[in-house]
Every structure is written in structure tokens, then in C-alpha cells.
Amino acid sequence: MDGITKSRIIKFIVGKDKVEHNVHEAVISGLSEPLRALVNNGMKESVEGLVVWTSVEDETFTHLMEYAYRHDFTFVDHDAKTTYASETTESLNQRVKGYRLPRKSRSKGIDFALDCFGDFMTDVEGDPHLVRSHSQQCFISCARLYVLADQYAIYELKDLCVDKLRQIPLHHPYTDELALSICKLLVFAWPRTIPNDTLRALLIDYIITDLYKALGFSCVTDVLDEIPEISTALLRRAPDDYWLAL
């Protein structure tokens, strides 16, 4: 901590409103090699101690700094709500945990969900009947932070973003609202990431867990028409026996 507080202050000008943030150089340079180079490479930004990031949302930068100083970050979703699920709005977590049939009798979607998400399943606040809904803004905020972390090679932050994004749909009721949030994530993330990206894979995996239901949402079919690569990713990701079972 002593090394941090004694390091010089770097000024960041962030977002369209050009909000000023003052950050310790040691904190920024410790996040990744590209960021270390940004403030230590002898170029204009490092000499002046001034970095202009007008393309980065102020909220995203605030979460980046929270992670830089605390090695964690928290999203406050004021629109989140916890309710009891019905049979038609169960979360993926509930659907998988409630499926007690032997593997050979289970749907391929459930098998796939267990393989991809089984190690991450827990109950909401200890009650297996509760589901927790989140706003679209919560999904997008986390994705923005992921993309920024990817851009500057902050690998541990990328992993943390994926961990948090994985938990949200696991406990979210599978409703039109969730489908729309997933679609908005796909539209946001796809042009900003590359093939085999972890965030892409997470979204594709979630859709495959119940592809039949997903295709019943108009926003999903619209996204598949808009970005044909997503259909290709679905075809390549799902196991061969998954398609045979449909």
C-alpha cells in the first residue's frame, strides 16, 4: 500500500461528459502490461500524466477502479427483484436441480446445462424456490467492463466479469425479459470480441441449454438473422447427440 500511495497521480478524462478521475500510477500499471505501458512508456500520456478515454463509459471506469483498488467490483441493480418462480418461469438453476431422472432419461439440454453450469449452481439466498431478476443495464454494464478488460489484457478481471455474468442468468426466471437481455448482450458483445471468446461462449452455452424455448422468442430469431455467425456458433458448440435429440 505504501508503494501505491507514494506513486504519482494519473488524471483520466472519461466519457462523453469528460469526467475527471485521479488514480495512483502504481494501481493502473499493476493491472496489465498494456496499461503499464500507457502510463510509463514516455509518450505524451505518460509524460503529462493525462489519459483521455472519452469512449469509455464513466460507470465502466468506476468499476475498473473499484477492481484496481479492491480486486473485486459490485454492481448495484436498483431494478433487481426477488420472487418465487412458477413452472413456466423457473431459472436454469431450478430446472437443472429439479431434474432427478437418470442421465439417459434426461433431455440433452439438461445434460448440456449440467456440463457447462453444474459447478456454479447455488440457491438464491438459500431458498431453492426463489428467482432473481435483473435489469438489462446490469447485463450490459458487466459486458462493457469485460470488453474494456479484454482491450487492455486484464485477464483476471475478464474472468471475474464472466463469473458474475454467469450467475445472473443462472438465477433469472426464463422470461421475455431475460431473452431480451441475452439478445442485447449478443448484439453488444459480438462485434467487440473474437471467435472462441469466453463471453461469446457463455451466451451461446446458455441458449443451447433450452434452444427450443430460446427460438420461441422473436428477439432471438431477429438476432440470428442480424448476425448469422451466431447460428454457426450454435451449430458448432452443441454436441452431436443434442441435435439428434431435437
Whether 191 and 97 map to the same domain: the answer is yes
What pLDDT does 245 receive? 58
The 10s digit of each residue's pLDDT in 78-109 is 888 888 877 667 888 877 776 544 444 456 77
What pLDDT does 87 receive? 61
The 10s digit of each residue's pLDDT in 222-246 is 999 999 999 999 999 988 777 665 5
* 26 pLDDT above the threshold of 90: yes
% of the chain beyond a pLDDT of 70: 89
Whether 61 and 120 map to the same domain: the answer is no
What pLDDT does 218 receive? 96
Domain boundary among 42, 70, 98: 70
Question: Can you tell me the mean pLDDT for 31-35?
Answer: 96
SS3 letters across the chain: CHHHHCCCEEEEEECCCCEEEEEEHHHHHCCCHHHHHHHHCCCHHHHHCEEEECCCCHHHHHHHHHHHHHCCCCCCCCCCEEEECCHHHCCHHHHHHCCCCCHHHCCHHHHHHHHHHHHHCCCECCECCEEEECCHHHHHHHHHHHHHHHHCCCHHHHHHHHHHHHHHHHHCCCCHHHHHHHHHHHHHHHHHCCCCCHHHHHHHHHHHHCHHHHCCCHHHHHHHHHCHHHHHHHHHHCCHHHHHHC
Question: Within a 10 A sphere around the Cβ of 11, how many other Cβ atoms?
Answer: 14
The 10s digit of each residue's pLDDT in 103-142 is 444 567 777 887 778 777 766 556 677 788 888 899 999 9
Question: Within a 10 A sphere around the Cβ of 101, how many other Cβ atoms?
Answer: 9
Which has more confidence, 174 or 184?
184
Residue 76 resides in a domain: no
pTM of this prediction exceeds 0.75: yes
What pLDDT does 147 receive? 98
Domain boundary among 10, 40, 70: 70
What pLDDT does 205 receive? 92
* 28 pLDDT above the threshold of 70: yes
Average pLDDT, the chain: 87
Domain span at residue 140 reads 81-245
* 196 pLDDT above the threshold of 80: yes
Residue 135 resides in a domain: yes
Quote the CA–CA distance of 170 and 123 in Å, as a whole number: 10
Which has more confidence, 179 or 99?
179
Whether 40 and 100 map to the same domain: the answer is no
Whether 143 and 34 map to the same domain: the answer is no
% of the chain beyond a pLDDT of 90: 57
pLDDT band at 2 (very low <50, low <70, confident <90, very high): low
Question: Within a 10 A sphere around the Cβ of 161, how many other Cβ atoms?
Answer: 27
Whether 53 and 167 map to the same domain: the answer is no
What pLDDT does 219 receive? 96
Question: Can you tell me the mean pLDDT for 190-210?
Answer: 94
Whether 33 and 141 map to the same domain: the answer is no
Query: How many domains are there within the chain?
Result: 2
